[in-house]
Amino acid sequence: MTTVPTVTLNDGVEIPQLGFGVFQVDPAETQQVVETALEVGYRHLDTAKIYGNEEGVGAALKAAGLPRDEVFVTTKLWNADQGYDSTLAAFDASLQRLGLDTVDLYLIHWPTPEKDLYVDTWRAFETLLADGRTRSIGVSNFRAQDLDRLASEGLATPSVNQIELHPYLAQDTLRAYGAEHDIAIEAWSPLAQGKVLDDPVVTDIASRHDVDPGQVVLAWHLALGNIVFPKSVTPERIASNFASLDVTLGADEVEAISALNRDDRIGPDPAAFN
């Protein structure tokens, strides 16, 4: 079976660079879809309380019967649960839905700057880490100023920042910030939910390698060092996305895809999402 490269986080934890995301996977379908992903070889799952499918992820893990330390599980704190005590309670509830004793990575889903609660929330994350209930802690959709704020409060540096990132949204500033501060970058909507797959630059490279456009875009992410977890409910795509590990792009191809950037978001702007 293909080996998945790992990224070593700033706390020493190793995370598989390619995983499987379950945003917009119907809760009723989640167990089956995740079981398929585990059969294909994925060993990193990315869910969130707000996806409503933590139970399905947990059920698939149980059914697969893999040793717990062979699957990296991430979940996220929803915005309404920010604050010290509410974070601790929300974490317990997520673990219960997942049917797990610990997660590998817990993320603040959005900074929600207007609420101004992410500093207290992050203190609760430090507690969860110190208590060994999560192996690693990180953030999602944080801007440079939010990361600076955690640092200025003397708090732990997040191990990851999970941000929208794909060929149409390069995120050079946050990638450089991550490189400078040893914060790994996780790319959400790595395929731009399919919107980059018809781009002629991508389809040309795909025909040159005799692979599909999704594999080219994922190979681009992997070449840049991004951690990715494409979502699909389609068994053929679940398998072909995993096989992107076997695709190696030339430096010129990586550059050509990077040049597609147009600072185009699919999802909300973190500055305004409260």
Q: How would you label 222-252 residue by residue, b for 16+ Cβ within 10 Å and e otherwise?
A: bbbebbbbbbbeeeebbebbbbbbebebeee
The secondary structure of the chain in percent helix, strand, coil, rounded to multiples of 5, reads 45, 15, 40
> Tokens 């079976």 map to which residue?
1
Is position 267 an interface residue for ligand NAP (rule: CB under 6 A)? Answer: yes
Minimum CB separation of residue 269 from ligand NAP in Å reads 12
Q: How would you label 122-150 residue by residue, b for 16+ Cβ within 10 Å and e otherwise?
A: bbbbeebbeeebbbbbbbbbbbeebbebb
Q: Which is nearer to ligand NAP, 19 or 83 (CB)?
A: 19
The count of other CB atoms within 10 Å of the CB of residue 121 is 22
Is position 229 an interface residue for ligand NAP (rule: CB under 6 A)? Answer: yes
Is position 87 an interface residue for ligand NAP (rule: CB under 6 A)? Answer: no
Q: Which is nearer to ligand NAP, 85 or 114 (CB)?
A: 114
Is position 104 an interface residue for ligand NAP (rule: CB under 6 A)? Answer: no
| Residue choice 194, 209, 223, 254 for contact with ligand NAP (CB under 6 A) | 194
Is position 254 an interface residue for ligand NAP (rule: CB under 6 A)? Answer: no
Find the binding residues for ligand NAP in span 170-189 (CB under 6 A).
188-189
- Which residue is catalytic, options 51, 106, 168, 177? 51
What does the block give as tokens for 274?
């409260």
Q: Which is nearer to ligand NAP, 152 or 167 (CB)?
A: 167
Interface mask (CB under 6 A) for ligand NAP, residues 41-80, using x and -? -----x----------------------------------
| Residue choice 165, 191, 206, 257 for contact with ligand NAP (CB under 6 A) | 191
Q: What is the CA radius of gyration of the chain?
A: 18
| End-to-end Cα, the chain, rounded Å | 43
Query: Angle between the 54-64 and 27-40 helix axes, to the nearest 10 degrees?
Result: 40
Q: Which positions lie near ligand NAP, rule CB under 6 A? A: 21-24, 46, 109, 140-141, 162, 188-194, 197, 212, 214, 229-234, 237, 240-241, 267
Active site residues: 51
